[in-house]
């Protein structure tokens, strides 16, 4: 399964074992063991930030996927990426950086997968820009890999009315038109997004996640699983997705498939 990472770690019965001694020395400092050098190296892209609910829980997802990779017989190299929120940046100078961030995120993942010559990659995503950016480098470099969507946010609630981020945008207009007062505007602001996850509706994030699932580049059913439960902990369905994506990627490597175009 080490069809690429042998270049980095060497192989015990191969000519590069002695040559790669210094590289393994550095990897031992980050908790690689003798056994790990026999395992395929899986890149794990974790675009986490507490700057948007879409990706606030992605670091926790990364921890779950990392353990699942290693339980399935791989060795994970985990790293982060930039994240810019469309919903937060729009209407300000910050929005000039949102679309650009998609390319930077994709390039960051490519840099790490190629810089470590990993055997496969799993990319996590949550917001409008991390979702396409998590897919692009897999196809770009013809890697074995899958992307895992972080999941949708739970609906908010105010006086028996279900809310989501669009409720906040609508409330701005309603307040400007004199239809609601400042107190109701504040209440909608405080209740529309109750925790982690992407915007609750078939907006950009959920639509792209569904399309990527239809393309076969994410797990069946994973686009519709919620990010967190009512206690704002990773949902049981999303935990299961984390285990399944690790098992699927390791299974592809075990099958002898060496590139995306052969899947």
**Per-residue pLDDT at 263:** 59
- Ordered DSSP codes for the chain: --TTTHHHH--TTSTHHHHTHHHHHHHHTTT--TGGGGSPEEEEE----TTSGGGTTHHHHHHHHHHHHHHTT-EEEEE------HHHHTTSGGGGGHHHHHHHHHHHHHHHHHHTT-SEEEEEE-STTHHHHHHHHHHHTT-SEEEEE--BPPPEEETTEEE-HHHHHHHHHHHHTTSS-HHHHHHHHHHS--SSSB-SSSSHHHHHHHHHHHHTSS-TTGGGSBSB-TTSSB-HHHHHHHHHHHHHHHHHHHTT--SGGG-
For 35-70, how does the pLDDT look when each residue is reduced to its tens digit (9 = 90+)?
999 999 999 999 999 999 999 999 999 999 999 999
Closest CA to 59 of 75, 78, 77: 78
My answer on whether 202 and 160 are in the same domain is no
My answer on whether 223 and 235 are in the same domain is yes
**Per-residue pLDDT at 259:** 76
Q: How many domains is the chain partitioned into structurally?
A: 2
For 123-153, how does the pLDDT look when each residue is reduced to its tens digit (9 = 90+)?
999 999 999 999 999 999 889 999 999 999 9
Would 1 be classed as within a structural domain? Answer: no
For 215-229, how does the pLDDT look when each residue is reduced to its tens digit (9 = 90+)?
999 999 999 999 999
**Per-residue pLDDT at 248:** 96
My answer on whether 183 and 207 are in the same domain is no
Residue 26 banded pLDDT, cuts 50, 70, 90: very high
Q: Average pLDDT of 16-31?
A: 96
**Per-residue pLDDT at 131:** 96
Would 74 be classed as within a structural domain? Answer: yes
Would 11 be classed as within a structural domain? Answer: yes
Q: What angle do CA 168, 171, 173 make, to 5 degrees?
A: 120
What's 150's domain CATH number? Answer: 3.40.50.2300
Would 110 be classed as within a structural domain? Answer: yes
Q: Of the ranges 13-17, 75-79, 93-97, which one carries the lowest mean pLDDT score?
A: 13-17
My answer on whether 119 and 202 are in the same domain is yes
For 70-81, how does the pLDDT look when each residue is reduced to its tens digit (9 = 90+)?
999 999 999 999
**Whole-number Å distance between alpha carbons of 20 and 67:** 26
Q: What angle do CA 46, 168, 190 make, to 5 degrees?
A: 75
**Contact between 198 and 227 (Cβ < 8 Å):** yes
Mean pLDDT (the chain) is 95
**Whole-number Å distance between alpha carbons of 93 and 209:** 27
Task: Name 124's bridge partners.
Answer: 148
Q: pTM of the entire structure?
A: 0.94
Residue 262 banded pLDDT, cuts 50, 70, 90: low
Parent domain of 173:
155-194
């Amino acid at each position: 399964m080490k069809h690429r990472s042998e270049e980095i770690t060497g192989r015990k019965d191969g000519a590069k074992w002695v040559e790669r001694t210094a590289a393994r020395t550095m990897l031992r400092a980050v908790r690689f063991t003798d056994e790990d050098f026999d395992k395929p190296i899986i890149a794990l892209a974790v675009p986490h930030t507490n700057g948007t609910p879409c990706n606030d829980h992605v670091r926790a997802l990364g921890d779950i996927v990392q353990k699942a990779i290693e339980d399935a017989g791989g060795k994970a190299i985990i790293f982060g990426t930039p994240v810019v929120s469309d919903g937060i940046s729009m209407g300000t100078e910050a929005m000039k950086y949102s679309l650009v961030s998609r390319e930077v995120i994709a390039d960051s993942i490519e840099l790490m997968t190629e810089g470590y010559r990993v055997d496969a990659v799993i990319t996590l995503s949550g917001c409008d820009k991390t979702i396409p950016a998590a897919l692009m480098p897999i196809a770009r470099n013809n890697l074995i890999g899958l992307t895992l969507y972080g999941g949708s946010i739970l609906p908010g609630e105010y006086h028996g009315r279900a809310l989501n981020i669009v409720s906040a945008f609508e409330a701005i207009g309603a307040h400007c038109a004199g239809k609601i007062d400042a107190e109701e505007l504040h209440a909608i602001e405080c209740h529309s997004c109750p925790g982690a996850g992407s915007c609750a509706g078939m907006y950009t994030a959920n639509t792209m996640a569904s399309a990527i699932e239809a393309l076969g580049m994410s797990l069946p059913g994973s686009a519709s699983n919620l990010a967190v439960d009512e206690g704002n902990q990773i949902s049981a369905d999303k935990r299961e997705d984390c285990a399944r994506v690790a098992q699927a990627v390791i299974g592809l490597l075990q099958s002898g498939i060496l590139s995306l175009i052969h899947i």
